[in-house]
Amino acid sequence: MKIINRRQFIYCSALILSTPVLSLAVGSSDDKKDDISGQDDIRGKIFKGDAPDKPSKWSHEGFLYTKLNDRKVVCGICPHRCVLSPGDRSACRSKANIDGILYSLSYGNPCSINIDPVEKKPLFHFKPQTKSFSLAAAGCNFRCLNCQNWEISQAKPGEVRQSELFPEDVVIAALKSGSESISCTYSEPISYFEYMIDIARLAKEKGLSTLWISNGYINKEPLIELCRYIDGANVNLKSFSDKIYKKLNGGRLEPVLNTFKILNDKGIHFEMTNLVVPGYVDDPEMVKRMCEWILNNLGPDHPLHFLRFFPQYKLDRLPPTPVSTLENFRSLAMKEGIRYAYVGNVPNHEGMNTFCHNCKKLLIERKGYLVPVYNLAGNRCKFCNTVIPGVWENRKIKT
């Protein structure tokens, strides 16, 4: 066997020894996962030719839509503004063009009904310790990768087990259950707008509140109409980045911000929820910008909940949010001027309690769904008489 010469040996050795340096150089780039990773826009598309042949006996004509030529229609409920030819189904899966008429397919057919504590929504400044009759119908106009209720939000109305419960029956059932409110929740109520607004209208007549738990992806006109009947809302502000909205949720940021402005203008009590997804929504600078926008456009009084993320649905390969990240965001938000910032999905964390924004004393201590301490008299702080934003009942809270 021929022995290699000295020069060849040096070349080979140099080549081999240089590899760690090479690997470090190549691998030193700072990865930005929202830029490089996967699909940039997961927004839902309409389902061509997927509409039922004829409306079911419960189907209800769409609340707001425009008729075009060739019996096409444009749904006007959400910013997707689905253009549907006859036989097409909307991106939210709940509307269909049947012979030139837009129908809501989930009207009167809830797929989930429960009696929940109102704190579960989460709503911390709305009639604490009361029960809320909660219902959902199938469908959603988003495609959130971490959806907790994907079995119903990402399903068509005919694909899930449904009950028959018309708005008047909902109100009767809610009253019977001793609930003080009806929550349209779990999936996305915007996708069953017609059902929700009829429930809210009837509930108001019977003295029940209606709560809208939503992603806020709705157009101005239907929202203004809805505001006539609802009493409270929790709207998700999933991030303060249009890019992340498109990538993780399949929506856009701007329409959601407009929703907040309208709710604020109409004087509806609402709380905001921000799910802190590690690596995507855990940027303090983004949270700072978000708080600045809230303060400039909505004021300091709307409660803001920072929720802990847990691996869910398709986003199941990320770790949960560290608790200290939520604590930091809460502090950051309060430092910026938001008066009521909360930590959520962390059992019995101090950040779940309500402190008076004026005297800083403990107003409501929350242990899960229990309230061991309640220091409000009507809508005022017991200690300094400051008005606390929210919908408070003038009654004794069971502590």
Give the footprint of another protein on this chain (CB under 8 A): 1-2, 4, 8, 11-12, 15-16, 19-20, 22-24, 26-27, 31, 33-34, 36-39, 42, 111-112, 114-117, 119-120, 136, 145, 148-152, 154-155, 160-161, 186, 247-248, 278-280, 311, 313-320, 322-325, 346-348, 367-370
Residue 267 or 347: which CB sits closer to another protein? Answer: 347
Identify which of 328, 346, 254 has the alpha carbon closest to the alpha carbon of residue 287. Answer: 328
Give least dist CB 197 to another protein, A: 22
Question: CA distances (Å), 195 to each of 21, 136, 181, in order?
Answer: 64, 10, 16
Burial of 385 by CB count in 10 Å (0-12 exposed, 13-18 middle, 19+ buried)? exposed
Burial of 313 by CB count in 10 Å (0-12 exposed, 13-18 middle, 19+ buried)? middle
Question: CA distances (Å), 118 to each of 30, 87, 133, 233, in order?
Answer: 43, 39, 9, 11
Contacts of 280 (CB under 8 A, 6+ apart): 33, 34, 239, 244, 247, 248
Could you give the count of Cα atoms lying within 13 Å of 311 in the half-sphere of its Cβ? 4
Residue 29 or 69: which CB sits closer to another protein? Answer: 29
d(CA 314, CA 58): 33
Give least dist CB 371 to another protein, A: 10
Give least dist CB 54 to another protein, A: 25
Residue 263 or 307: which CB sits closer to another protein? Answer: 307
Give least dist CB 72 to another protein, A: 26
Residue 59 or 146: which CB sits closer to another protein? Answer: 146
Contacts of 40 (CB under 8 A, 6+ apart): 243, 246, 247
Give least dist CB 113 to another protein, A: 9
Residue 47 or 383: which CB sits closer to another protein? Answer: 47
Give least dist CB 116 to another protein, A: 7
Residue 93 or 302: which CB sits closer to another protein? Answer: 93
Give least dist CB 203 to another protein, A: 20
Residue 153 or 258: which CB sits closer to another protein? Answer: 153
At CA 115, angle to CA 113 and CA 120, rounded to 5? 110
Could you give the count of Cα atoms lying within 13 Å of 159 in the half-sphere of its Cβ? 13
Q: What is the DSSP letter of 351?
A: G
